[in-house]
Amino acid sequence: MNKIEHIGIAVKDLKASNELFAALFGEEHYKTETVESEGVITSFFESGPNKIELLQATNEHSAIAKFIAKKGEGIHHIAFAVNDIELEIERLTNEGFTMIHQSPKKGADDKLIAFLHPKSTNGVLIELCQDINR
């Protein structure tokens, strides 16, 4: 794993959260994107070399809707950049980690993604991210 790619934060109201984080960082988000397969609308902010992804559910069955219903708004996941996501999935599986995704899928911000199950990572949802255009 190369670096923290972003921190994902589950929010109820993306518009209000965009305003809050724009005031916090002193600049607007750089991208908003819908990821149909995950049932979310995302918004990305940059703060120096770091990124924050805000996630709002688009339906009541999405993982974000379920997360907010159970835990409320807040940090949802930490994403790590990787060079070869398929190799990393294989390596982590061989190390005994439980993957939610056995193969990468298209995510937001031009990334291939895969999640590790939080039961195998001390309760922290971990996302692997690889640039699609690498």
DSSP letter for each residue of 7-46: EEEE-S-HHHHHHHHHHHHTS--SEEEEEGGGTEEEEEEE
Q: What are phi and psi of 16, to 5 degrees?
A: -65, -40
Rounded-to-integer distance, Cα 7 and Cα 123, Å: 15
Q: CB burial class (10 A; 0-12, 13-18, 19+) of residue 72?
A: exposed
Find residue 31's DSSP bridge partners.
Answer: 44
- As averages over each run of 10 residues, the pLDDT of the chain (134 residues) reads 93 98 95 94 93 97 96 96 96 96 92 96 96 82
Beta carbons of 81 and 90 less than 8 angstroms apart: no
Model pLDDT, residue 134: 63
- The SS3 call for residue 92 is helix
